[in-house]
Chains A and B, each alone.
Chain A
Amino acid sequence: MKFKFQDEKRGKRLVDAIQKNVPDRQLKIVHVCGTHEVTITNNGLRSLLPEQLDIREGPGCPVCVTPTRDLDGAIQLARKNAIIAAFGDMMNVPGTEYSLNDLKSEGADIRLVYSVSEAVEIAQKVSKEVVFLGVGFETTAPMTAAVLVGNPPRNFSILPSNKLIPPAMESLMELPKNNVDGFIAPGHVSTIIGCKPYEPIVDRYQIPIVVGGFEPLDILYSLALIVQQISKDAPKVENGYPRAVNYEGNQRSKDLIEEVFQVSNSIWRGIGELPDSGLTLGPEYHEYNAYTRFDVDPEPGKDVIPNCLCPQVLTARATPDECSLFGTKCTPTSPYGPCMVGEEAMCNIWFRYGGRPQL
């Protein structure tokens, strides 16, 4: 496999490089991508790193940060007899009272799709309304945009819930005493947006941001670059994934996003409202907004549940094992909070890997 990078010899050397440059103090490096957490945990990378280097997942799980309001919205739409098409992970996320799966057991037509184009195909074959639950970050937004500019069927609409990563990274820096020492920026979000959007964060907060790929060696390389920057006290945006990311990003995808969407304030479950952190449909694509089409305006839902540590976990201020419900009242088969649902979610990942990410 040409694009696999996981040989042990190089891994050891990269770990040596990290060991060499890492300062004596505690370092908290945050990544914002569920797939990064899977690579890190699945490959046991934390067991290779020096003790003082702590890697955390920030709000990089779209399922976890989708506000209850949008889930409740999807449920209201299903009750209005629309077919709801959503990515698999969204099925079990608890809304205020129900999840999509609960509704499916009651007979609602909820379909698991792997792509927005599948949702369009469903709409082409039926006469009922089909609503695509548009969650995800900048990697997923161009696809929805591409579908909307391509004259989708009249019975197709989307529930717009895409969010933007750089504002979320900023919000973590703004939390008091969060002590984030650097970021690994998400590889495929960066394929779309490029490296430029991270520069204001480096300028303002003077911390390293390295774009990271998804192979084990990619992660070790990104960490080596980060600690190298820290040891030289020379923070900057660095591209650790040049085979898939360039500085300007993917112009065509960016154009599609700009054509269809507009930036708006957005509620992140567990964090709250962040300015200019989400995408909503621009005026020319208004008619594809399911909320408008169905005249549905859900109440802001209950985003934080008692005793659930998701807000702290999502903002890299706590780890799943610090939650009193973790593994007991909250498990993947019977999740209490959103961080236990879906395989991009930190609590879910740790649970499936023995409850702790390192030996």
Chain B
Amino acid sequence: MCLAIPGEVLSIEGNFATVNINGVEQEVRLDTLTEEANRGDYLLVHTGFAIKKLSPEEAQETLQLFDELIEINKELDQESEV
């Protein structure tokens, strides 16, 4: 029930966005979303409602976060070996 999946906004009409979620076009409601949605944006969708605007840039930053943590721990490793 926590299941929410990202999809790309193809078009907007009032409170509804047509979103491509994993190759399937779905009508998604925008009244539960705080941010403004535009064509080309990515939305996190739960049971047919948008709950967050996602950005592919932030998704890339996710990898950076992982790598930062990995680096810190590698440095600590190297320090302790000295």
Contacts and interface: CB of A to CB of B under 8 A. Distances in A.
A348 to B, nearest CB: 13
Task: Say which size band chain A's interface belongs to.
Answer: 35 or more
B38 interface: no
B12 interface: no
A225 interface: yes
Given A3-B59, A242-B65, A13 B70 contact: yes
A16 B29 CA distance: 42
Contacts of A332: none
Contact of B69 (A14, A242, A251, A253): A14
Contacts of B65: 221, 242
Given A252-B32, A252-B34, A34 B1 contact: yes
A214 B4 CA distance: 9
Contacts of B33: 250, 252-253
Given A20-B73, A20-B77, A116-B47, A143 B32 contact: yes
Interface residues of B, number: 36
A-side interface mostly = helix
A151 to B, nearest CB: 13
A117 B52 CA distance: 19
A191 to B, nearest CB: 5
B2 A114 contact: no
Interface in A1-31: 2-3, 5, 10, 13-14, 16-17, 20-21
Contacts of B29: 117, 143, 146
Interface in B33-82: 33-34, 42, 44, 46-49, 51-52, 54-56, 58-59, 61-63, 65-67, 69-70, 72-74, 76-77
Nearest to A245: B52
